[in-house]
Each structure stands twice: as C-alpha cells, then as structure tokens.
C-alpha cells in the first residue's frame, strides 16, 4: 500500500510539472489586418495578468477589437471591446467588466514589451494592453509588464506609423482579427 501511495504522489507530481511546463511555453499569436505579432509571456513576473490575458484570448474577447491608440515613438494600444463598433468616442474606455490587481515588476519598458493599460488607479487594468515601440522607461514600476514580442515587431512598427486623428486613433481601423494561444 505504501508503494502505491508513493507511485500516486509521483504521478501527481509529474502531471503538475508537465502542466506547468506547457503553460510556460505558451505564446500569444495576434493576427492583425497588418500582419502577425507573436508574444511570449512573463508568467513568473505577472501570473495574474498572463492568466487574465490568456483567458480573454481563449474566449475570443479580443477578436474584432482594434489598435485604437497609436503614438509614434511610444506605443500601440488595443484590447478595448468598445473599439468593435464605429463610435470612436468610446474607444479606450471599455474592458471586461472587472479589474485585476497590479503586478509591477523589475522588467523595463523597452521596445517590444507587452504591458497592461490602466486608468489612474493602479489596480484598474482589465483587458487593454499596449506594445512599446520605443524604450519608455518612465513607465517602469507604474504599469504591469507581462510579455514581450518575439516575432513581428515590424508589424507593430507599421501599425504605429499609420495616419491618425487628434486622439491618436488610426484613421483606418487596424483590427485584431484574433488572438490565439499556441505552443512556443
């Protein structure tokens, strides 16, 4: 009986380890109207943000949203469900209906970093995210970094260079067709 118990614990341990490993190897594949961006996650630095982003992506929350804010020399922002409609006035104000706690960490906001957008309240992030196109270290310890671009920075560069209005909203919609979670 004792051997059976040890065997059972070993099986449980191996299952947990394989689950952790497969989770750690997940990437996000953002399919946009201007190309594909692949992102790896910093699960160890921002586990709640990674879990939230993956949950929203897996249920199709981001599909059809746009990059509603693009600022050359800074970043591109997306993830607002309000951007699915034609009313640009509400872009940047939407979310999933809940907020998650900040997980500020020591990863600097360098080119290619994926970080979570929020309001003045540090614990107000929900679904909106941004990709830094130029080092923006002034954001460090004020926004939660939870991933980085591993392929497709040229797509982010194309997105940030589009014509935009006074609110930094692209004149022509740049749609996130889908965000899929895949193995690295």
- pLDDT for 18 equals 45
Look up the pTM and report it.
Answer: 0.87
- pLDDT for 59 equals 97
- pLDDT for 7 equals 60
Residues in the chain where the model's pLDDT stays below 70: 1-24
- pLDDT for 24 equals 60
- In 3-state terms, what secondary structure has residue 144? coil
- What is the C-alpha to C-alpha distance for residues 173 and 33, in angstroms, rounded to an integer? 9
To which residue do tokens 């943000």 refer?
Answer: 49
Looking at domain 27-183, its CATH superfamily turns out to be Cyclophilin-like (2.40.100.10)
- pLDDT for 184 equals 84
Give the domain ranges of the chain: 27-183
């Amino acid at each position: 009986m004792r051997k059976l118990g040890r065997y059972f614990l070993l099986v449980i341990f191996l299952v947990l380890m394989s689950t952790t490993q497969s989770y750690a190897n997940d990437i996000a594949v953002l399919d946009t109207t201007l190309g594909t961006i692949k992102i790896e996650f910093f699960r160890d630095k921002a586990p709640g943000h990674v879990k939230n982003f993956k949950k929203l992506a897996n249920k199709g929350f981001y599909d059809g949203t746009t990059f509603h804010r693009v600022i050359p020399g800074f970043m591109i922002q997306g993830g607002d469900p309000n951007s699915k409609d034609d009313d640009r006035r509400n872009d940047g104000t939407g979310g999933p209906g809940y907020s998650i706690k900040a997980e500020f960490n020591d990863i600097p906001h360098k080119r290619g970093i994926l970080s979570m957008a929020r309001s003045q309240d540090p614990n107000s992030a929900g679904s909106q995210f941004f990709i830094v196109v130029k080092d923006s270290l002034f954001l460090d310890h004020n926004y939660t970094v939870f991933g980085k671009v591993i392929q497709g920075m040229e797509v982010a560069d194309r997105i940030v260079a589009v014509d935009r209005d006074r609110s930094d909203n692209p004149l022509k919609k740049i749609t996130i067709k889908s965000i899929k979670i895949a193995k690295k």
